[in-house]
Amino acid sequence: MHPEPALPPHLLRLADAGDAKPAWITLLTTEHYNLGMQRAATISEVNGRASIFIGAVSAGLIALGFEGARSRHSAGSIVFAALVLSSLLFLGLVTFGRCLQIAIDDWEFSVRIMRLRAAYAQLVPELAGLLAEADTDEAEVSMFAGRWQALQKMLSVAGSMAVISSVVLGADAGAVAYGLSASLPAALLAGAAAGTVLMFATARYQWARWCEASSGPARASAPPGSLRAR
C-alpha cells in the first residue's frame, strides 16, 4: 500500500549524458517546476471551494436566524429551513467530493516530485546528502501512518467538509422531522441518525478512494533491478 518511488532499472549518472547534459537538466527541472505549479493550483482550488462553502453556511445560518426570529415554528419557517439546509447540503457534498479528488491529485504530484528528487540523487550522488529523504511518500507519513488512520482523514479539507455536511444534513432532517411530528425528541433523534449515517458513509468513501489511489498501477513497486539512490 505504501510503495516507494520507482527509479530506472539501471543506474543513471549525469556524466553519461555527454553532450545531452543541458537537455537532461532542462527536462528534469521543467518537470519539477510544472509539478510544483500543479500542486499550487490544487491547493488554491481547495482553499477557494472550502471558503465558498463555509461562507454559504454562514450566510444560511444568518438567514435561518432572521427567519426563526420572525416566525417561530410555523410551516413556512420549516419549509424555508429545509430549502436552505438542503441547498447547503448539496453544496457541501459537491465540495467534499471535489476536495477529495484534488487531495488525491496533489498526493500524486507529490509522489512524482519525490521520484524526481530520487533521480537527482542518483544522477549526481554528491548532492544526495543535500536532498531530503525521497524514498517515502508524504501521504504515507501524514495520512497512512499511526493507529487512527481513519480519523487522520478527518483532518484534511475534504474530511472537514464531510463533517460540516453531516451536521447540515442532521439539521435538515431534524427540521423536517419536527415539522412532521412537532416533537423535539423525534427531531433530535432523526437529525442525529441522519448526520451519523452521512459521516460514516463519507468516511468510508474517503478511505476507499485513498486506498484505491495508493495501490494504483501508477504506484507499482520499483523493478527488481532498481537502485535506490542514497
Is 23 contained in some domain? Answer: yes
> For residue 71, what pLDDT is reported?
67
Is 159 contained in some domain? Answer: yes
> For residue 219, what pLDDT is reported?
46
> For residue 52, what pLDDT is reported?
95
Q: Cβ(8)–Cβ(225) under 8 Å?
A: no
Cβ burial of 58 (10 Å; 0-12, 13-18, 19+) is exposed
The dihedral built from the CA positions of residue 131, 137, 138 and 141, taken in this order, carries a sign that is negative
> For residue 140, what pLDDT is reported?
52
Closest to 82 (Cα-Cα) out of 218, 174, 206, 191: 174
150 φ, ψ to 5°?
-65, -40
- Residue 12's contacts (CB-CB under 8 Å, 6 or more residues apart) are 119, 122, 123
Q: What is the mean pLDDT for each group of 10 consecutive residues in the chain (230 residues)? A: 50 64 77 88 92 94 83 78 93 94 89 82 72 52 53 78 94 90 89 94 88 61 36
Enclosing domain of residue 138: 14-216
Is 5 contained in some domain? Answer: no
Is 164 contained in some domain? Answer: yes
> For residue 195, what pLDDT is reported?
93
> For residue 31, what pLDDT is reported?
86
Is 127 contained in some domain? Answer: yes
> For residue 76, what pLDDT is reported?
78
pTM of the model as a whole: 0.74
Give the helix ranges, DSSP H, for 124-219: 138-142, 149-153, 157-181, 184-214
In the chain, the number of structural domains is 1
Q: In this structure, what C-alpha cell is assigned to residue 222? A: 520499483
Is 169 contained in some domain? Answer: yes
